[in-house]
Amino acid sequence: QDNFRQCNVYSRPACSDCWAKLFCAGGCAANAYHASGNINGVYDYGCRLFRKRIECAIMLQAALTEENE
């Protein structure tokens, strides 16, 4: 339980400089474990995919907002 309690974006060095860390909350611990052998590790493919999803969502929202003005 302590491992899961400490499993977050603030305890993962790989998340420290990520602009999307507060959107994903550090990602899935199970994916991190399967990719790196550690629940505090990084699932790099998942991180890249999630950042791209957020980037696209921001662009779509900006376009919709611009259309409605």
Does position 1 have pLDDT exceeding 90, yes or no? no
Residue 37: domain span: 2-67
Tell which residue, 49, 54, 28, 3, has the closest CA to residue 11.
3
pLDDT, mean of residues 50-61: 96
Give helix then strand counts, H and E, for the chain: 4, 0
Confidence of residue 59 (pLDDT cuts 50, 70, 90): very high
User: Rounded to two decimals, what is the model's pTM?
Assistant: 0.79
pLDDT at 38 over 80: yes
Dihedral, CA of residue 19, residue 22, residue 27 and residue 29, to nearest 10: 130
- Specify the number of domains making up the chain: 1
